[in-house]
């Protein structure tokens, strides 16, 4: 079976990574305009770099949870593509091999001049660290005021258009381009399962949805066991 998985911050929350928009999330502690936007970068590059250096250090010690592991195990019997809004690498750590990062990857840095010049984020970025073209390095993440790359969007559209099962896990779908992407599914051939304790109803106008109102690890256990029967 061709399975496409669309994941958000909720799947990594059980691994100790804070969500962004929920109560107590990252954007209650930090002003996203200051630390995660193009305007913030233009205003104070050092503050932005310091924020992401902190996030990168915290991420290094995080490990996948059961939801990530169940998704990786699905590859033993199914063709699985994961589309994630997360910038962590927990899907890869769990063993998933086909992951599209719509919002970039915090384990990578890149040129602030070219999105094609990408390097390992293996130490703190500092002001003065430059790419081979002489441009300041920045985290390889999509900020407010930016859009996912054309390549990641194209790969996502292909995965959504061709899937037989769509799993949506741990996301409010509250990002402008998200529903446009998801509208590309063929509702006549795809089944949709939405795992989230508090799912939005945005998808109801697109196709029938089976809701599992549980945290990611519990919901994925149910899905995995059901597919293995």
Q: How far apart are CA 159 and CA 3, in angstroms?
A: 8
Confidence of residue 206 (pLDDT cuts 50, 70, 90): confident
Note the pLDDT tens digit of each residue in 107-141.
Answer: 999 999 999 999 999 999 999 999 999 999 999 99
Q: For residue 177, is pLDDT > 70?
A: yes
Sheet strand arrangement including 137-141 = 118-120, 104-111, 137-141
Q: Which residues pair with 10 in a beta bridge?
A: none
Q: For residue 197, is pLDDT > 80?
A: yes
Share of the chain above pLDDT 70, in %: 94
Query: Of 106, 105, 10, 104, which Cα lies nearest the Cα of 54?
Result: 106
pLDDT at position 68 is 98
pLDDT (average), residues 196-215: 91
Query: Of 8, 12, 65, which Cα lies nearest the Cα of 200?
Result: 8
CB atoms within 10 A of CB 174: 11
**Which of the following is catalytic: 68, 91, 101, 103?**
103
Residue with token string 């919002």? 103
Confidence of residue 145 (pLDDT cuts 50, 70, 90): confident
CA distances from 133 to 46, 80, 114, 141, 220 (A): 20, 37, 9, 19, 44
Domains of the chain (ranges, CATH numbers): 1-16+64-103+147-229 (3.40.50.1220), 18-61+109-141 (3.30.1600.10)
pLDDT at position 207 is 87
Q: How far apart are CA 48 and CA 128, in angstroms?
A: 14
Q: How far apart are CA 28 and CA 16, in angstroms?
A: 17
Helix 66-74 with 216-228: angle, nearest 10 deg: 30
- Would you state the structure tokens that stand for residue 186, as one six-digit string? 């063929």
Mean pLDDT for the chain?
91
Q: Is 103 tagged catalytic?
A: yes
């Amino acid at each position: 079976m061709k399975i496409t998985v669309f994941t958000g911050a909720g799947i990594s929350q059980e691994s100790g990574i804070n969500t962004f928009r929920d109560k107590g999330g990252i954007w209650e502690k930090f002003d996203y305009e200051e630390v995660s936007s193009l305007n913030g970068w233009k205003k104070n590059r050092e503050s932005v770099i310091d924020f992401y250096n902190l996030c990168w250090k915290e991420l290094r010690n995080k490990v996948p949870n059961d939801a990530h592991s169940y998704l990786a195990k699905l590859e033993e019997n199914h063709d699985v593509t994961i589309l994630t809004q997360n910038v962590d690498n927990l899907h890869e750590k769990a063993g998933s091999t086909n992951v599209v990062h719509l919002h970039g990857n915090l384990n990578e840095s890149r040129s602030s001049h070219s999105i094609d010049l990408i390097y390992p984020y293996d130490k703190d970025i500092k002001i003065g660290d430059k790419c081979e073209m002489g441009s300041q390095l920045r985290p390889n993440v999509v900020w407010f005021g930016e859009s996912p790359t054309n390549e990641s969007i194209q790969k996502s559209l292909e995965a959504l258009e061709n899937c037989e099962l769509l799993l949506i896990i741990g996301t409010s779908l509250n990002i402008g381009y998200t529903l446009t992407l998801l509208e590309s599914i063929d509702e006549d051939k795809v089944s949709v399962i939405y795992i989230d304790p508090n799912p939005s109803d945005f998808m109801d106008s697109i196709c029938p949805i089976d809701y599992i109102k549980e945290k990611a690890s519990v919901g994925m256990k149910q899905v995995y066991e059901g597919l293995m029967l």
